[in-house]
A = this chain, B = another copy of it.
Amino acid sequence: MMPLGELAAALGCEYRGKPDMPVHGVATLEKAGPLQLSFLANPKYTAQLQDTDAGVVIVTPEMAGKRTGAVILSQDPYLTFAKAAAFFEKPRAFPPGIHPSAVVAASAQIHPRAHIGPFCSVGDNSVIGPECVLESHVSVGPDCTLGRGCHIKPHVTLVQDCLLDEDVLIHSGAVIGADGFGLARDTNGWVKVPQLGGVRIGRGCEIGANTTIDRGTLDDTVLEEDVHLDNQIQIAHNVRIGAHTVMAGCSAVAGSATIGQNCLIGGNVGVLGHLQVCDNVTLQARTLVTRSITKPGSYSSAAPLQETAQWRRNAVRMRQLDDMARTLKKLDKAQETDRHG
């Protein structure tokens, strides 16, 4: 529980209401009760301000007049809500120490303030920093270094040669540092190109569940600071992703591509190998980037949704587009001639 006045002060916000009003948690406008905090970020839902039972609502100053009950005022209610909700998270204790079932190489260094959970393994020459948490079933291979405060959820694999800066959060099932996909063709079949690089992940990055980030062939695969990757993303060898870029689920970046800083990348986006995407680019869901992007802005390529019957008729024509364009040009020219000829 936090009293309203104290909560608003912690958020650095003005408020309206009784300072000692108790706030016990957060909820949506629809479900919040009189002891809970909610927020209105999208003006589309303004009507809910009247109906909600929420004890307090975070609103913009412009919206404050639409509600009679207590409010916390913020220019960015969603951001303020994010900070407020953190006060009400169930704290989970991860006491320092190594679970007796864990297997730690003799040459590994575990900081005395790190938590190593059940069924974790830490390989040769790896270093686990202070305040790190390895929850359970975490496999850290050889030559990995985790900076202060990294949190590794169950069933994560850091295969080898992974360097994590401070406060990196990796969700379950992610695989960091597997071999890049490099093959050279010989007479009798494929020869594997040895993958000798590592992976470097910057401060404050978050890696989603079952996401994969391969290590580089010779140099490293790099995520700069504050990069956020959703679930099931594939980052190939030698990719570089700039600071503060976020990427939604099921996207993939092929080998040696570079993504700039502050990019917003939608779900199931693909970026082909060796391309560059500059800073401040937005890629809509399912865009396939087939050439480098040098101008900030928003890009798309998905085909539009149609009823299947309609789609069938139109898809046939997509195969005839060039012929259509040529016929059209011919007719247009003929008309020009008719008119001016």
Q: Which residues of A contact B (CB under 8 A)?
A: 26-28, 31, 76, 78-79, 81-83, 85-86, 88-90, 92, 99, 101, 103, 117-119, 121, 135-137, 139, 141-142, 153-155, 157, 159, 169, 171-173, 175, 178-179, 181-186, 189-194, 196, 204, 206, 208-210, 212, 214, 218-219, 225-226, 228, 230-232, 234, 236, 243-244, 246, 248-250, 252, 254, 267-268, 270, 272, 282, 284-291, 293, 297-322, 324-325, 327-328, 331-332, 334-335
Contact = CB atoms under 8 A, between A and B. Distances in A.
A321 B324 CA distance: 10
12 contacts: A90-B196, A121-B136, A141-B154, A153-B157, A173-B210, A282-B308, A289-B305, A293-B305, A299-B311, A303-B315, A327-B328, A331-B335
B228 A181 contact: yes
Contacts of A250: 234, 250, 252, 270
B314 A305 contact: no
Contacts of A285: 254, 270, 272, 288, 290
A254 to B, nearest CB: 6
Contacts of A103: 99, 101, 118-119, 136
A316 to B, nearest CB: 7
